[in-house]
C-alpha cells in the first residue's frame, strides 16, 4: 500500500470515531495516521477541512495543544473555537451531556482538555461528532502520537527501538507505553515506588507488546534502565493540579533527573524527548534539554502534524 492509499484508508476506517485512548485502535490504524502525518507535514496547506469547525474545551491551561490545533485547522481551511470551561455554561453547572449535544449541532468535532477521563468519556457518549482527548488524567494520546512520529523520523523505524521513560508514571507515560507496545518497541518505565504507571494500563500494554513483538519493562533503577537506550524521555515531576505535592515530589524523585551522566549510559546517538513545559534543574538539566541530543522542539512541532492527521481522519477530508 503506497502513501496515498494508506492516507485514504485511514480516512475511511476512522471517520466518525473518537480518539480517547490508543487502546481503542490497531497497529494498522496508527501506522496509517503516521503516514498521513508525514504527508501533511510535507504538504502543510490544503483545503481538506474547508468549512469544518472544531470546538476546543479547555479545563486546563495550554500552549502546545491550543496553538497546534488552532493553526492546524486554519492550515486545512477550517476553524477552531477556543472555549475556556470558565467562560461557557459547563462552568456554571450545565451538564457535560447537554454541552455535548449542543456542540454536536454546531461543529464537526470536539477536542476536550480535561481533568478526568470520566468527564471525557461522558462527553464522548453524548456527542454525535468525534471527540478527541486533548489531555486527561489518564491519557494524552495526541502527545504520544507526536512522540512516536518523532522517533520514526529520527530512527527510521519503530520496531525494536528502545525508549526509556524516566519519572512520573502519568498520563503521558500511559499513552506512550501503549503506543510503543503496539508498534513493537521496547518500552522501559523507570519511576520510584508510588509513582509507577497504572497497573491495569501496564498489563494491557504488556499484552500488546507480546502481540507485536515489543516489550514493556518496569525498572526502578534509572541507570540500569538507560543501558542501550535509543530514546530517553521525561516529563515534569509535578503536573498541573499537583502543586501542593511539589515539595514531597522533589524528594521522592531524587535520583531520577535526566542529566549528562545518565545520558552516558545510553547509546551514543541517544535522542532526548520531553513533552514540555520543562523545569530545568528538576527533571532534566539545562545542558541536556538544550544540548545536541535534544529534539524537544521538533517533537513539539510534530504535535500539529499528527493532530492534523487525526482531524482529517475522524472528520473526513475533501
Q: Annotated binding site, which residues?
A: 62-65, 89, 113, 140-143, 171, 235, 239-240, 275-276, 303
Give the count of beta carbons closer than 10 Å to the beta carbon of residue 215.
Answer: 17
Give the count of beta carbons closer than 10 Å to the beta carbon of residue 144.
Answer: 25
- Residue 235 a catalytic site member: yes
Q: How far apart are CA 72 and CA 144, in angstroms?
A: 17
Q: How far apart are CA 261 and CA 18, in angstroms?
A: 42
Which residue is catalytic, options 36, 113, 126, 307?
113
Which residue is catalytic, options 235, 257, 305, 307?
235
Residues in the chain: 318
**Binding residue numbers for L-ornithine:** 171, 235, 239-240
Which residue is catalytic, options 249, 303, 305, 312?
303
Which residue is catalytic, options 38, 75, 108, 140?
140
- Residue 228 a catalytic site member: no
Contact present, 129 and 104 (Cβ < 8 Å):
yes
Output b/e per residue, 66-105; b: 16+ Cβ within 10 A: bebbbebbebbbbbbbebebeebebeeeeebeebbebbbe
- Residue 275 a catalytic site member: yes
Which residue is catalytic, options 143, 257, 299, 307?
143
Q: How far apart are CA 138 and CA 198, in angstroms?
A: 9
Contact present, 166 and 235 (Cβ < 8 Å):
no
**Binding residue numbers for carbamoyl phosphate:** 62-65, 89, 113, 140-143, 275-276, 303
- Residue 303 a catalytic site member: yes
Question: Comparing C-alpha atoms, which of 314, 242, 305, 317 is closest to residue 35?
Answer: 305
Catalytic sites, residue numbers:
113, 140, 143, 235, 275, 303
Amino acid at each position: 500500500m503506497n502513501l496515498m492509499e494508506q492516507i485514504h484508508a485511514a480516512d475511511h476506517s476512522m471517520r466518525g470515531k473518537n480518539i480517547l485512548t490508543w487502546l481503542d485502535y490497531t497497529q494498522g490504524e496508527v501506522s496509517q495516521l503516521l503516514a498521513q502525518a508525514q504527508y501533511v507535514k510535507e504538504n502543510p496547506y490544503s483545503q481538506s477541512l474547508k468549512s469544518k469547525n472544531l470546538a476546543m474545551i479547555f479545563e486546563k491551561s495550554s500552549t502546545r495543544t491550543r496553538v497546534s490545533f488552532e493553526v492546524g485547522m486554519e492550515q486545512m481551511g477550517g476553524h477552531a473555537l477556543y472555549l475556556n470551561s470558565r467562560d461557557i455554561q459547563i462552568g456554571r453547572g450545565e451538564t457535560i451531556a447537554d454541552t455535548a449535544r449542543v456542540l454536536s449541532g454546531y461543529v464537526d468535532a470536539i477536542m476536550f482538555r480535561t481533568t478526568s477521563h470520566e468527564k471525557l468519556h461522558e462527553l464522548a457518549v453524548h456527542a454525535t461528532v468525534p471527540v478527541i482527548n486533548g489531555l486527561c488524567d489518564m491519557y494524552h494520546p495526541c502527545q504520544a502520537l507526536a512522540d512516536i512520529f518523532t522517533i520514526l523520523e529520527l530512527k527510521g523505524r519503530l520496531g525494536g527501538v528502545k525508549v526509556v521513560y524516566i519519572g512520573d508514571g502519568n498520563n503521558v507515560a500511559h499513552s506512550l507505553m501503549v503506543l510503543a507496545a503496539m508498534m513493537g518497541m521496547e518500552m522501559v518505565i523507570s519511576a520510584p515506588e508510588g509513582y509507577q504507571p497504572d497497573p491495569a494500563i501496564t498489563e494491557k500494554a504488556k499484552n500488546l507488546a507480546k502481540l507485536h513483538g515489543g516489550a514493556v519493562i518496569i525498572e526502578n533503577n534509572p541507570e540500569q534502565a538507560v543501558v542501550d537506550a535509543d530514546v530517553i524521555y521525561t516529563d515534569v515531576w509535578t503536573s498541573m493540579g499537583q502543586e501542593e505535592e511539589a515539595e514531597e515530589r522533589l524528594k521522592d524523585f531524587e535520583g531520577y533527573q535526566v542529566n549528562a551522566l545518565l545520558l552516558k549510559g545510553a547509546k551514543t546517538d541517544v535522542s532526548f524527548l520531553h513533552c514540555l513545559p520543562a523545569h530545568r534543574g528538576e527533571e532534566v538539566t539545562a545542558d541536556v534539554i538544550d544540548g545536541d541530543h535534544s529534539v524537544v522542539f521538533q517533537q513539539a512541532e510534530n504535535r500539529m502534524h499528527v493532530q492534523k492527521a487525526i482531524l482529517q481522519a475522524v472528520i473526513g477530508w475533501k
